[in-house]
Structure 1
């Protein structure tokens, strides 16, 4: 319990990754390069999927929205980290911290729902090919994406309201590089049992529910693919799912490690590493995974490069 004379904390201090100033400079340069490559890579996926006629399908519509989510997710965390390191000002306001936490979990939760929708799309394309265009037409795709965003918005709203209403009397030092929920709860001088229970139930339901749909979809996909008459057809079917499945393994693996396991059993270094993998490395890898493992994306990218080269040559 806290005293009646307590003073509400108005700002927090983000520790980030402690180290010497030279190490911080190296870290900031690495973060800057990672952020720029992530932005350019995901923007490239969005532009290609919007402009190339071969990518005007349901699968790439979902991929475009996934890239948009990744842009937002990495932008919620990395720019603030860079500002903290470069200016050596590690403070973040209470409202800014709550907003960063809300946006992080909003975009992350929506990301899982989009991944689940993409697995459903692959299931219908491979297991129900004759009914695919009817079941997964453009209006249905739009509604599924909108439902994912609305569900993500509502899913994290109540925990955020509970978090914002907690008393914070000090200390105000967050042992993390952004305002994650569990280090914030540890700083509260009030009763966090309700928030911990609600957060655990909702995070477990979002993660395991969307992962369950993805797992069931891929079990059906693999069963259908293994019945394909030729090895060529099996390879083609597997290749269309390989990129998505790779992203699923990375995204769910790091998030389940963070938010489903008991937090006391994990060191802060492991938690920060898993957080960095989830919200920094995964958005960086996604464009490369989808472009390197997807022939249509590689062809579209190659055609775009050749077109720009020929256009430049004509100007000369």
Structure 2
């Protein structure tokens, strides 16, 4: 509730307040929308399972949940990279900021974030229909995620696991490495871009869960880490961007 209400407040304020029609708040608006969407894709089902005791989910519903959590979650990473570039321009080239980061450029950056996410998701999701489940049908997680699904399938998941790791590494490299390459590093303002706890939790959680050992050797602690990624980080977002 804190996550949805807080991010929704940011979204509404940036839409209705004429003083918040700047590029910075436009990015915050999109980021809050992604946080609400990401949380809504996984948490309501989890709360329903707790309240009703019904912990079953169909395969199609599971794939649908997996698709939307990945879609909104991955887009967040690319949006953070775009926001970092905006901060760099504002800090290093303040007099040219409005020329470089006009609304047309911002909309193109947002469009590129969505399109890049879709292109990265196509390879692993194109292989999902080939999975077979002949043994266990119990996911060791409170929502559908790639690693738990691969853990219970009786198909050979070695290629799929490598695909997940490659895609995850590609996402992290394309977003996280983008900032150190920025000339702002030379001016000692790197910490300005990613100082926030919610960003650190998001990156740390994804690295821990996806850039590690085989899904067959998944550790129990992953469930706790997934709580940080899906609940704590979205909840901290309103406190981070509304000082």
1:273 to 2:224 alignment:
yes
What is the Cα deviation at residue 163 of structure 1? 1.9
Tell me, yes or no, if structure 1 residue 106 matches structure 2 residue 67.
no
1:48-87 deviation digits (Å, cap 9, x = unpaired): 1122233211111111100000001001111000111111
- Tell me how far apart the structure 1 counterparts of residues 17 and 36 of structure 2 sit (CA, whole Å): 21
**Does structure 2 conserve the Cα–Cα contact (< 8 Å) formed by 1:76 and 1:104?**
yes
C-alpha change, 1:215 and 1:279, in structure 2 (3 Å) is farther
Displacement after TM superposition at 1:187 (Å): 1.3
- 1:125-174: CA deviations, max 9, x gaps? 11122322222110110011011112112211221221232111131011
Identify which of 117, 120, 144 aligns with 1:152: 117
State the Cα distance separating 1:189 from its structure 2 match.
Answer: 1.4
Q: Does 1:245 align with 2:195?
A: yes
8 Å CA contact 2:66, 2:144 repeated in 1: yes
8 Å CA contact 2:199, 2:233 repeated in 1: no
Contact 1:98 1:160 in 2 (8 A): no
Q: Distance in 2 between matches of 1:198 and 1:191?
A: 13
Question: 1:164 maps to what in 2?
Answer: 129
Whether 2:235 is the aligned partner of 1:284: answer: yes
Query: In the alignment, which residue of structure 2 is the partner of 1:221?
Result: 184
**Residue segments in structure 2 that go unaligned for 5+ positions in a row:** none
**How far has the Cα of 1:250 moved from its partner?**
2.2
Aligned partner of residue 245 in structure 1, secondary structure: coil
1:311: which partner in 2?
A: none
The DSSP-based 3-state class of the residue aligned with 2:57 is: strand
Aligned length: 241
The SS at the match of 1:214 is: coil
Contact 2:81 2:178 in 1 (8 A): yes
What's the C-alpha RMSD, in Å, of the aligned pairs? 2.0
C-alpha distance in 2 between matches for 1:214 and 1:50: 29
- Residue 54 (structure 2) pairs with residue 89 (structure 1): yes
Q: Please state whether the residue corresponding to 1:194 is helix, strand or coil.
A: helix
C-alpha displacement of 1:196: 1.3
Alignment partner, residue 9 of structure 2: 44
Going from structure 1 to structure 2, the CA distance change for 1:44 and 1:284 (only over 3 Å counts) comes to same
Post-superposition shift, 1:290? 1.1
SS of 1:156 mapped into structure 2: helix
Rounded Cα–Cα distance in structure 1 between residues aligned with 2:185 and 2:124: 37
| Rg comparison, structure with higher value | 1
**TM-score of the superposed pair, with normalisation by structure 1:** 0.72
